[in-house]
């Protein structure tokens, strides 16, 4: 589907129609990998599903429908009708389109229940010609009906137990699987968000959906991650591979590391040896199946590694087009963290490789900052990003050193330049707390791949907590209440009625019993890996590296040991405002920007100056 027109809710996907008898047994099935599903109304205003499945065109009135969304994130869902009795299995559907379709179907079904249908006699006597009219988009009334139902469902949903059993995935079996709806149907029942894309973000999405190879960038807080998720929701899942330079960043978009996808280990071997490695492994299937490759945090990918991947793609896919004909969608900020290097190494950025100019068609920079609203703080961050350290800027940041940003027992998180310091600080503070420890353990659907999951998931497989422990929320739970990824809190106690789950008071004012949550991402073999764990992490300290991409409530930053360009900027830009920031040990030398990166961005802006100035005209 090369469009994200929200006015059109029709689906292009793979479908399998299973016709059932009165006992739910399959009597016949039809499948087609490229089918259309339309939702509309007939001449009597009945809701109708119209299917174009190969040579089969069929229409079914929708009266009593059940939706199954367990594998929604894989672009799969099942629609079960009672009259006639059948199941429609949907797969390889862009999740953004699928979500809109299912939400619309659910809302229209709920609304239709309040409408009096024509009697059989009226239908038989009617002289109206047969007709089918595509359904209109959701209205405010439809959304209210759906959200009220979602709220009612949410009160009935049970929580994850402290040590839940790993659920085994069943094979699809017409008439037997999914006879009852899933208890947790979050992709359908959650209130519908209406966050719109900016003009710049629309420009990126349009370029992606037109098949261009795109690099989009921007300073911290310009909505790169949000846009990337919208892009993922607009592409067919089976041919789209989401990756990132780090495991934590990959998990945020439901993907794996670029190294795991590539299948060449560290990539330090000679190019022919790397090609041989890929051709001997199952990863060859991923390379050949891939039509869209997404890479987040591209700034941390080594240029030489990127160059090797471009060559591998052409050889393995037997396609001499740039990157073997795979569409590239790259995101990141080269003025943030650079490729990881050992002492004395001088690694290239991706844009310094010859493969970059050969592969990338469109470079777009996002400018509208969403994370911070204070214009003065935004300007300070922009100056730091570009390596500018005026006396006034340094003095302004130094003036925060004595700020009391601790609140209601919630202490500021110390961002450290070195990971080893983080573990020592968190362990030391936890040991100093009196009281009994409570231990929580993750449940993985593939225990033999737990180490792989550890490397990709933002939460570990074990968590020790005590009353008074400083914690950070590692997943969005409720955006309206401020329970978002990065929200800071303190453990007040453990609920005895809920398997001693932790009760956490957050800086936003919310007090919440924290249940087990689920993270899922696709392994290189295509298998979906799932971890169920408390979405919490100890938060007396955190590394600057792991904070990249996060927004934190209260932050203490010591910049005395900065050793990389961009580190100071990444640390400072985690804060929402100056009032939530305490800066220690800052000197002009702490603020650094790579000269080659500054030159790259200068050239990018010059090349795009006319295009950037006409984005609005382009979209109109």
Q: Which structure tokens are listed for 569? A: 């900027």
Structure tokens at 168: 């085994």
Domain boundaries, the chain: 10-115+131-137, 201-366
pLDDT single digits (tens) 467-510: 999 999 998 888 888 898 889 999 999 998 878 999 999 998 99
Check: pTM over 0.85? Answer yes or no: no
Burial 259-294 (b: 16+ CB within 10 A, else e): bbbbbbeebeeeeeebbebbeeeebeebbeebebbb
Mean pLDDT for 59-87 is 90
**Where is average pLDDT lowest: 122-136, 232-246, 295-309?**
122-136
Please give the Cα distance from 121 to 123 (Å, whole number): 5
pLDDT at 71 over 70: yes
Banded pLDDT at 443 (limits 50, 70, 90): very high
Which residues share a beta bridge with 81? 65, 86
pLDDT at 304: 94
Residues in the chain: 620
Instruction: State the DSSP H helix or E strand holding residue 311, giving kind and residue range, or none if neither.
Output: helix 303-316
- Backbone phi, psi, residue 21, to 5°: -90, -175
* pLDDT for the residue 177: 42
Alpha-carbon gap, residue 501 to 510, rounded angstroms? 16
- Please report, for residues 335, 378, 417, 562, 588, the alpha-carbon distance to residue 569 in angstroms, rounded to integers and kept in the order given: 8, 11, 12, 11, 13
Burial category of 164 from C-beta neighbours within 10 Å (exposed 0-12, middle 13-18, buried 19 and up):
middle
Indicate the helix (H) or strand (E) that contains 227: helix 224-232
Q: Report the alpha-carbon distance of residue 97 to residue 406 in Å, rounded.
A: 43
Q: Give the confidence band of 343 by pLDDT, cuts at 50, 70, 90.
A: low
pLDDT digits (tens, 9 = 90+) for 185-237: 344 434 444 458 889 999 999 999 999 999 999 998 888 989 999 999 999 99
Lowest-pLDDT range of 8-22, 63-77, 110-124, 346-360: 110-124
Write down the pLDDT at residue 170.
Answer: 40
Residue 544, both tokens: 């600057």
Taking every pair of C-alpha atoms in the chain, what is the biggest distance, in angstroms? 87
Chosen CATH of 10-115+131-137 out of 3.60.21.10, 2.30.29.30, 2.40.50.100, 2.60.40.10: 2.30.29.30
Check residue 611 and give its pLDDT: 58
580-620 pLDDT, tens digit per residue, is 899 998 889 889 999 999 999 999 888 777 555 444 454 44
Residue 78's pLDDT band (cuts 50, 70, 90) = very high
Q: What is the pLDDT of residue 143?
A: 64
Residue 157 has pLDDT above 90, yes or no: no
Q: Which two tokens stand for residue 32?
A: 């087609």
Percent residues over pLDDT 90 in the chain: 47
Distance of CA 66 to the CA centre of its chain: 27
Q: Which CATH number fits domain 201-366: 2.60.40.10, 1.10.3720.10, 3.40.50.300, 3.40.50.620?
A: 3.40.50.300
Work out the number of other CB atoms within 10 angstroms of the CB of residue 136: 13
pLDDT tens, position by position, 544-588: 888 877 888 889 998 888 888 889 999 999 998 899 899 998 889
Q: Where are the alpha helices (DSSP H) in 406-449?
A: 419-432
Helix, strand, or coil (residue 602): helix
The model's pLDDT over 261-294, given as tens digits with 9 standing for 90+, comes to 998 888 889 999 999 989 877 778 889 999 999 9
47-51, 340-344, 499-503: range with lowest mean pLDDT: 340-344
Residues 116, 189, 78, CA angle at the centre, nearest 5°? 80
Round to whole Å and give the CA distance between 295 and 326: 12
Distance CA 137, CA 65 (A): 19
Q: Please, are residues 386 and 573 in contact by the beta-carbon 8 Å criterion?
A: no
Q: In terms of Cα–Cα distance, which of 465, 482, 598, 604 is closest to 533?
A: 465
- Mean pLDDT (the chain) is 85
Q: What is the mean pLDDT of residues 233-249?
A: 90
């Amino acid at each position: 589907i090369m469009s994200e027109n929200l006015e059109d809710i029709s689906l292009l996907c793979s479908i399998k129609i299973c016709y059932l008898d009165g006992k739910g047994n399959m009597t016949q099935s039809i499948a087609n990998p490229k089918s259309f599903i339309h939702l509309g109304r007939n001449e009597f205003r009945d809701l109708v599903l119209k299917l174009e499945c190969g040579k089969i065109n069929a229409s079914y009135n929708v009266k009593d429908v059940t939706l199954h969304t367990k594998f929604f994130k894989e672009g799969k869902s099942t629609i079960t009708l009672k009259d006639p009795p059948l199941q429609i299995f949907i797969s390889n559907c862009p999740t953004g389109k699928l979500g809109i379709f299912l939400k619309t179907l659910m809302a229209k079904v709920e609304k239709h229940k309040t409408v009096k249908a024509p009697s059989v006699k009226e239908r038989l006597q009617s002289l109206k010609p047969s007709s089918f009219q595509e359904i209109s988009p959701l209205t405010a009334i439809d959304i209210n009906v759906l959200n009220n139902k979602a709220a009612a469902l949410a009160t009935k949903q049970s929580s994850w137990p402290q040590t839940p059993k790993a659920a085994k995935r069943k094979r699809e079996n017409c008439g037997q699987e999914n006879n009852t709806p899933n208890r947790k149907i979050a992709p359908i029942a959650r209130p519908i968000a209406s966050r719109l894309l900016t003009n710049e973000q629309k420009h990126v999405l349009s370029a992606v959906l037109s098949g261009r190879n795109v690099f989009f960038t921007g300073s911290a807080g310009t909505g790169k991650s949000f846009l990337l998720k919208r892009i993922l929701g607009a592409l067919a899942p089976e041919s789209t591979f989401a990756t990132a330079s780090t495991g934590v960043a990959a998990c945020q978009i439901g993907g794996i590391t670029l190294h795991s996808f590539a299948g060449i280990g560290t990539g330090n071997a000679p190019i022919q040896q790397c090609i041989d490695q890929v051709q001997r492994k199952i990863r060859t299937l991923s390379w050949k199946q891939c039509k869209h490759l997404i890479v987040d945090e591209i700034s941390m990918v080594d240029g030489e590694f990127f160059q090797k991947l471009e060559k591998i793609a052409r050889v393995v896919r037997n396609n001499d087009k740039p990157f073997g004909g795979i569409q590239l969608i790259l995101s990141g900020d080269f003025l943030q963290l650079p490729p990881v290097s050992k002492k004395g190494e001088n690694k290239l950025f991706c844009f310094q490789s010859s493969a970059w100019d050969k592969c990338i068609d469109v470079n777009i920079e996002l400018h509208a900052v969403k994370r911070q609203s204070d214009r003065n703080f935004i300007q300070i961050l922009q100056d730091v990003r570009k390596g500018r350290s005026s006396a006034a800027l340094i003095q302004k940041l130094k003036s925060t050193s004595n700020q009391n940003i601790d609140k209601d027992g919630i202490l500021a998180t110390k961002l450290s330049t070195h990971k080893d310091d983080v573990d020592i600080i968190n362990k030391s503070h936890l040991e100093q707390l009196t009281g009994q420890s409570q231990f929580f353990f993750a449940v993985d659907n593939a225990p033999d791949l737990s180490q792989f999951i550890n490397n990709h998931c933002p939460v570990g497989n074990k968590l020790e907590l005590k009353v008074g422990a400083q914690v950070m929320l590692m997943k969005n739970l409720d955006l309206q209440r401020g329970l978002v990824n990065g929200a800071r809190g303190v453990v007040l106690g453990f609920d005895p009625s809920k398997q001693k789950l932790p009760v956490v008071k957050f800086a936003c004012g919310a007090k919440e019993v924290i249940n087990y949550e689920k993270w899922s991402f696709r392994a290189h073999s295509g298998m979906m890996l799932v971890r169920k764990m408390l979405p919490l992490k100890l938060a007396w300290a955190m590394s600057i590296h792991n904070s990249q991409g996060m927004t934190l409530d209260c932050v203490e930053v010591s910049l005395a040991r900065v050793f990389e360009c961009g580190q100071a900027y990444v640390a400072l830009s985690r804060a929402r405002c100056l009032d939530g920031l305490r800066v220690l040990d800052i000197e002009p030398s702490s603020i650094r920007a790579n000269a080659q990166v500054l030159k790259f961005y200068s050239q990018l802006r010059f090349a795009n100056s006319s295009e950037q100035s006409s984005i609005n005209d382009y979209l109109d």
